[in-house]
Amino acid sequence: MTITDNSFSEKLTFPNLSLCYNLSMIRQLSLIFSLIFIVSCANEEQPTEQDAKDFLAEVQLRAETEGPVIYSANWISSNFITYDSQVVLADFSKRYTLKSLEQARVASTFDNLELEPEDRRALDIIKNGFVMPPPLNEELAGELSGIMTELEAMYGSGTHCFSENDCYDLEGFESIIDNSRDPDELLKAWNGWREIGKPMKDKYLRMVDIGNQGAQDLGFDGLSDLWFSKYDMPVSEFSETVDRVYEDLKPLYESLQCHVRAELNEFYGDDVVPDEGSIPAHILGNMWAQSWANVYDLVYQEESTGKPIDLTKVINDRGLTEIEMVEIAEDFFLSLGFEPLEDTFWERSLFVKPADRNVVCHASAWDINPKTKDLRIKMCIEKNAEDFSTIHHELGHIFYYQAYADQPAVFQSGANDGFHEAVGDLLSLSITPNYLQKIGFVSEEEAESAKENGIAFLMKQALDGVVPTPWTLMLDKWRMAVFNGELSEDEMNDYWWELREKYQGVRSPNERPADAFDPGAKYHIPGNTPYTRYYLARVLQYQFHESLCNDIGFEGPLHECSIYDSEIAGEKLRAMLSMGQSQPWQDALESIIGTRELSGTAMLNYYAPLKEWLDIQNEGRSCGW
């Protein structure tokens, strides 16, 4: 299952008894949960290569027989939110967590054997398929499970009251942050939501303490070592790689920050937004200042030339149903040579919010049973441009599942945890005026008119595509410092804002109180969702897009390229997707772009016209922070 963090939306409420959905790790966890085959630790004889093969065969068998049941329990929990469905789901977590750790330790007994590369890779994936592992101790496992459930509940049910009749939950606070232009009202909402983080701090630190013990019991130095052991390269080398890529992207981001700050300064004045330095976090149109799309109208004045396509109007004028919107997205993949989706996809997916019950509406793609091709999406579709793009993104996950379905179960995942999101985002980049013309949504004249104002299009894209990049990098840098014990309790919040200023050029709008725990106001911290995957996805999607556009011989600005209806692009994409996680991610990357290097160059090329425009606008301004 892949739960999309599209636009990093936080409007999903997490039930109190829900499992902690660990996005790309859920496949590995379900495999491990389902195992009952145990290599006896009491056996004095050293394990053999055949023992390892027998162990992996049992992994496959149990994944095929028990995995779909676990996924179905998750599906029911998300589609029928009742006390009982949550109890059933929570019971899976309680009963299988210790078993999963035991199986990981079994996998580690083969560490010193010379094995075939495929078997060694499979065992390593089983060992590192954890995010917050408890030690093999029932009391600590129970304590950890309780803390994790409680932290999710504290976030999901988070509400702050300024007075008896002045209370807000996240949705209420976000409505203000997203839409208000009153700096006092914005500051009140920004401060209010961060109140929910304060009581999380002690619980979070205790969780990290137990998790570090669990990681060490698995043979890792700690949680940091465990989290970054999944990237087919030494942890230090991986860290250097992601930092190098960010250095490539900094000039683009700094130019964008400089322009946005200047425009907001003009709108709000010096007292709210100074004309130099970092931008106060509360006036950027997003609760976490990780997307600035909601202040587009304040930072860019559209030119009179050209007419943007109002995709929401097109969808409604054509009277499209929710299912027809999905069918159009499926057609995109069929045009690339993918196989049609099974009838069960259309019969079992959730496309429309039910009128008779609560469901988790956050868009997600589900691989219930690879053997029977039981693929589904769960989404409460709205007839607008945003959901049209999200549908294409979700089907990116679905056709990724389809492509690697013949791999052994342990390899049924993205090449690394950023690949799945990158593939979904890749398709979103192809929703261009040319694509909309080809599918009959607009005329040739309308498409050409829309392309006349390319800077407006790129500015919108950048505020939601470039802006999150440093945010997706700094979040796990903060978390690693906590995991490694580099911060005292009193330093944790200060370091959070130190990193946000360093990487984002964003600062707290006021002095934070001594008991503040602002990281807790972002779901992925109390929810223990690794965030580097989103950084990788942001970078990879542009590398995929540029390479495929070059392969099909596209001539013109990259933001006008669509891979729709290209057999060449489809063949190359399917070849990479079909590898799943069977090879190092560098091999998968090389198969589609011809190089093994993660690089920010493709993103820079995509936004080159915008960067030139920004440089002109920023002449005479004091850029940087």
Q: Write out the catalytic residue numbers.
A: 362-363, 393-394, 397, 421, 524, 534
Q: How far is CA 231 from CA 278, 583, 589, 595, in A?
A: 33, 11, 13, 16
CB atoms within 10 A of CB 11: 10
Using an 8 Å Cβ cutoff, are 527 and 20 in contact?
Answer: yes
> Which amino acid, residue 158?
G
**Cα angle value 580/585/587 (rounded, 5°):** 95
DSSP character at residue 303:
-
The tokens describing 232, both together, are 């087919």
Q: What is the DSSP string of 507-529?
A: E-SSPPPTT--GGGGSTTTTTT-
Rounded to whole angstroms, the Cα distance separating 142 from 422 reads: 35
Question: 275, exposed or middle or buried, with CB in 10 Å at 0-12, 13-18, 19+?
Answer: middle
**HEC letters along 454-519:** HHHHHHHHHHHHCCHHHHHHHHHHHHHHHHCCCCCHHHHHHHHHHHHHHHHCEECCCCCCCCCCHH
Alpha-carbon distances, residue 38 vs 50, 55, 123, 450 (angstroms): 14, 8, 14, 61
Alpha helices in 306-417 (DSSP H): 311-317, 322-335, 343-348, 385-403
Instruction: Give the DSSP letter of residue 133.
Output: P
Distance, CA of 25 to CA of 23 (rounded, Å):
6
Closest alpha carbon to 68 in 372, 416, 431: 372
Q: Please name every residue paired with 364 in a beta bridge, in sequence order, or none if there are none.
A: 3, 378
Q: How many residues does the chain have?
A: 625
Comparing CA positions, the residue from 351, 432, 426, 341 lying closest to residue 385 is 432
DSSP bridge partners of 168: 160
Alpha carbon distance 505, 527 (integer Å): 26
| Tokens matching residue 571 | 């063949």
